[in-house]
Structure 1
Amino acid sequence: MPSTLTSAAHTAILAAAEAAHPHEACGLLLGHGGHIETALPAANVHPEPQHHFEIDPAALIAAHKAARSGGPQVIGYFHSHPNGLARPSATDAAQASGDSRIWAIAAAGVVTLWRDSPSGFEPLSYAIKES
């Protein structure tokens, strides 16, 4: 079954990528199951943001607290690749935890989705769906 995301989430990922360029944008994917309702941009706190990303831990903690209070779940993460390749890099693979969360990668106006599986990233098909 393909993943879904709202047009607002899709737009937010692309807007964050454009705003951060030439640095990597990053943020959280919030929703339920395989449906991404919101893409919440976060500060990239990595010391080399032009080549790496690290989601601000305060944003991650706040999102998990909100989820425990009945808000949408943290179902994944997004970041951008200013080099124009919308696929996981060797750095992404090294940082991945194999926790089955969704990773969205934006590059050159395109968003791709990937499942962070224990055996590596698996491409995911997706559709835009509002609810």
Structure 2
Amino acid sequence: MVRQISRTLAERIRVLAAADPGREVCGLLLGAGEVVTAILPAANVAANPARAFEVDPAVLLAAHRAARDGGPAVLGCYHSHPNGVARPSARDAAAAQPGQLWLIVAAREVRLFRFDPGGFVELPAPSGCHADDPRP
């Protein structure tokens, strides 16, 4: 099964990125099995947040603790490329771990990737999203 994210969640991420166009907005993709069911926005603590992102370590640790306690798993991360394209950069590839999902937003474009040992593989999104997601 291909990992999926709803149109609603993808749009929430796009709106967050549009609200802060001068910085790389970032957060975590949470879910169960193969489906992203929630996002967790995080502060970008990178030294230069206009050109890079680093998820606040406190948010990342709390999400992993919550997952160990039965909450949703951390499936990957999302971030924006304010002045770029919705494709992983060399910096993204250097930070990625196999199996992680990466959702990248640039302008109005939203793309979902999985990092495999050979590199990033694009997954269906938003065209592969659940159009009938009942969650707000």
- What TM-score results when the alignment is normalised by the length of structure 1? 0.91
Aligned length: 130
| SS of aligned partner of 1:31 | strand
Deviates more, 1:52-61 or 1:18-27: 18-27
Residue 53 of structure 1 is matched in structure 2 by 53
Residue 21 of structure 1 is matched in structure 2 by 21
Deviates more, 1:42-51 or 1:2-11: 2-11
CA contact (8 A) 2:28 2:40 kept: yes
Query: How far apart are the structure 1 equivalents of 2:129 and 2:46?
Result: 31
Tell me how large the CA RMSD over aligned residues is.
1.5
Q: Structure 2 vs 1, CA of residues 76 and 38 (structure 1 numbering), >3 Å: closer, same or farther?
A: same
Query: How far apart are the structure 1 equivalents of 2:65 and 2:96?
Result: 22
Query: How far apart are the structure 2 equivalents of 1:6 and 1:125?
Result: 11
Residue 128 of structure 1 is matched in structure 2 by 129
Tell whether 2:21 aligns with 1:12. Answer: no
| SS of aligned partner of 2:87 | coil
Tell whether 2:70 aligns with 1:70. Answer: yes
CA contact (8 A) 2:18 2:107 kept: no
**Cα displacement (A) at 1:54:** 0.1
Query: How far apart are the structure 2 equivalents of 1:8 and 1:41?
Result: 15
| SS of aligned partner of 1:128 | coil
Greater strand content: 1
| SS of aligned partner of 2:94 | helix
Query: How far apart are the structure 2 equivalents of 1:21 and 1:55?
Result: 17
**Cα displacement (A) at 1:84:** 3.7
Residue 105 of structure 1 is matched in structure 2 by 104
Give the residue type in structure 2 aligned to 1:30.
Answer: L
**Cα displacement (A) at 1:70:** 1.2
**Cα displacement (A) at 1:4:** 1.7
Unaligned regions of 5+ residues in structure 2, if any? none
Query: How far apart are the structure 2 equivalents of 1:26 and 1:115?
Result: 17
- What TM-score results when the alignment is normalised by the length of structure 2? 0.88
Deviates more, 1:107-116 or 1:3-12: 3-12
**Cα displacement (A) at 1:95:** 1.9
| SS of aligned partner of 1:45 | coil
| SS of aligned partner of 1:39 | strand
Give the residue type in structure 2 aligned to 1:28.
Answer: L
Residue 90 of structure 2 is matched in structure 1 by 90
